[in-house]
Structure 1
Amino acid sequence: MSRRFLFVVAACVVMLYFSIILFMLNPLHSARLGYPPIPYRNVPIVDWCKPLQRRSPPGDVVGLASFPGSGNTWLRYLLQQATGILTGSVYLDPGLRMHGFPAENVTDGSVLVVKTHETLHTYRNSIFKSTIILIRNPRDAILAEYNRRHMGHIGTAPKSAFKKKIRRKEGDGIEKNKSKTHKETEWERFVASQMTAWESWHKAWLAVFRGPIHIVFYEALVKDTRRVLRDILNFINYNVTESALTCAITHREGIYRRRKKLKDFDPFTDEMYVQLDIIKNRVLAVIAEYRNKHNDTGSRRRRRS
Structure 2
Amino acid sequence: MEATNTPPPSNEIQPSPLSTQTLPRTTSQTSSEKRWLVPDEHHGEHIAIVSYPRSGNSLMRGLLETVTGVYTGCDTRPDRSLSLELQKAGMKGEGVVDDRVWFVKSHYPERSGYVPVPVQKAILVVRNPWDAINSYFNMTLTNSHNKSVHDVTYSRFADRWDAMIQNEIQVWIKFHAYWIAKVDIPIQIVRYEDLLLHRKETMHRVVKFILNKDPKGSLEDTEWNSRIESVLTEDDSTTGPYKPRSGKIASSFRHYSPDQFQHVLDVARVHLRNFGYDTNTQGFPHDIRLPNRQLRPAKPGGKSVWTLSGDKLELRDRNDTFGRLSTWFRKALTEPILASDGTNLNMHEVEAARERALASAQSASQGPGSEDADGEEDHA
Over 3 Å counting, the alpha-carbon distance change for 1:278 and 1:303 in structure 2 is same
2:298 alignment counterpart: 303
Identity of aligned residues (%): 23
Moved more, 136-145 or 273-282: 273-282
2:156 alignment counterpart: 164
> The residue matched to 1:102 in structure 2 has which SS?
coil
> The residue matched to 2:96 in structure 1 has which SS?
coil
Aligned-residue offset at 1:240: 4.5
Moved more, 192-201 or 271-280: 271-280
Q: Distance in 2 between matches of 1:287 and 1:261?
A: 22
Aligned-residue offset at 1:142: 0.5
Residue ranges of structure 1 left out of the alignment (5+ in a row) = 1-47, 166-183, 289-296
**Could you report, residue by residue, the CA deviation over 1:232-287 in whole angstroms, capped at 9, with x for unpaired residues?**
11111188432221222225534422352498992101011112222442114667
Q: 139, 145, 150: which one pairs with 2:130?
A: 139
Over 3 Å counting, the alpha-carbon distance change for 1:109 and 1:302 in structure 2 is farther
Over 3 Å counting, the alpha-carbon distance change for 1:125 and 1:282 in structure 2 is farther
User: Quick check: 1:50–1:81 contact (8 Å CA) kept in 2?
Assistant: yes
- Matched pairs, number: 233
Q: 102, 105, 111: which one pairs with 1:115?
A: 105
User: Quick check: 2:47–2:121 contact (8 Å CA) kept in 1?
Assistant: yes
Q: Distance in 1 between matches of 2:275 and 2:230?
A: 32
Q: In structure 2, give the amino acid aligned to 1:55.
A: L
Aligned-residue offset at 1:121: 8.7
Q: 249, 266, 272: which one pairs with 2:232?
A: 249
User: Quick check: 1:120–1:208 contact (8 Å CA) kept in 2?
Assistant: no
Q: 231, 235, 246: which one pairs with 2:209?
A: 235
Residue ranges of structure 2 left out of the alignment (5+ in a row) = 1-29, 213-221, 277-291, 305-380
Q: Distance in 1 between matches of 2:258 and 2:294?
A: 35
- Dislocated runs of 4+, deviation >3 Å: 120-126, 251-255, 261-265, 284-288, 299-302
Q: Distance in 1 between matches of 2:94 and 2:223?
A: 23
State the TM-score, normalized to the length of structure 2: 0.55
Q: Distance in 1 between matches of 2:95 and 2:275?
A: 30
Aligned-residue offset at 1:193: 0.7
Over 3 Å counting, the alpha-carbon distance change for 1:245 and 1:121 in structure 2 is closer
**Could you report, residue by residue, the CA deviation over 1:46-69 in whole angstroms, capped at 9, with x for unpaired residues?**
xx7231011231351111000011
Q: Distance in 2 between matches of 1:115 and 1:232?
A: 15
2:367 alignment counterpart: none
> The residue matched to 1:266 in structure 2 has which SS?
helix
> The residue matched to 2:169 in structure 1 has which SS?
helix
Over 3 Å counting, the alpha-carbon distance change for 1:141 and 1:235 in structure 2 is same
Moved more, 248-257 or 99-108: 248-257
Q: In structure 2, give the amino acid aligned to 1:154.
A: N
